[in-house]
Amino acid sequence: MNLREIFTPDEIAKRIQGLGREVSIFYGREKVLGVCVLKGAFVFFADLVRCLDIDMEMDFVRLSSYGDGTASSGEVSVECDLVSDVRDKNVLVVEDIVDTGLSLYYFSRMLRSRGARSVRICALIDKHERRTLPVNVDFCGFRVQKGYLVGYGLDMAQKYRNLPGIYTIDPYEIEAADV
């Protein structure tokens, strides 16, 4: 498969330091429950939380809207639920990519219905032009217009998650703009 690097490990690390500052300033002394959306966000989450200077707990959830391909099936299910009670908590959902918005539209509603005090989204990549549902990314690493990305936790059919940079797979073309 022909991979083309669009964000180097160094660029990613610098952007995450900036995100860490934004998130830390935003929450200040508030307690936060950071939720890592598995599997894709595991690398980003691990790097982000080490840049956060806040009082936080962590939990993990696994949602599924995609099979092993590159197109959404249009349905979201919770494959592995949170252990924590989110009632009255400030929840920071940490996601790899927000694409159509389907997964996080569903998950944010679920968190609110369980009584979360606030729900914010931190995504490494926002493909905002592909949005079909109203999901706002509160803290965004990079904006990307199109293309299918792999590496740094992102997969295609469960492959490439271990690559240290982020790559697009040809023949998709990508147009990226720094936030």
Q: Which of 89, 85, 36 is nearest to 63 (CA)?
A: 36
- Total residues in contact with ligand IMP, by rule CB under 6 A: 16
Each residue 24-63 as x (binds ligand IMP by CB under 6 A) or -, in order, gives ----------------x-----------------------
**Closest approach of Cβ 111 to ligand IMP, in Å?**
15
Cβ density class 89-103: b for 16+ within 10 Å, e for less: bbbbbbbbbbbbbbb
Residues in the chain: 179
Residue 44 one-letter amino acid: F
Check if 138 is active-site: no
Give the shortest CB-170-to-ligand IMP separation in angstroms.
13
Q: Report the distance separating Cα 141 and Cα 124, nearest Å.
A: 4
Instruction: By CB under 6 A, tell whether 65 contacts ligand IMP.
Output: yes
In this structure, how many other beta carbons lie within 10 angstroms of the beta carbon of residue 81?
Answer: 12
The sign of the CA dihedral 86, 92, 95, 98 is positive
Strands 176-178 vs 139-144: parallel, antiparallel or unpaired: antiparallel
Residue 149 as a binder of ligand IMP (CB under 6 A): the answer is: yes
Catalytic residue among 47, 99, 126, 155: 99
Site string (103-132) toward ligand IMP, x via CB under 6 A: x-----------------------------
Q: Which is nearer to ligand IMP, 86 or 135 (CB)?
A: 135
> In terms of Cα–Cα distance, which of 59, 61, 52 is closest to 34?
59
Q: How far is the CB of 162 from ligand IMP (least distance, A)?
A: 14
Query: Minimal distance in Å, beta carbon 25 to ligand IMP?
Result: 26
Q: Any idea which residues carry the catalytic annotation? A: 99
> Interface with ligand IMP by CB under 6 A: which residues?
40, 65-66, 72, 95-103, 148-149, 154
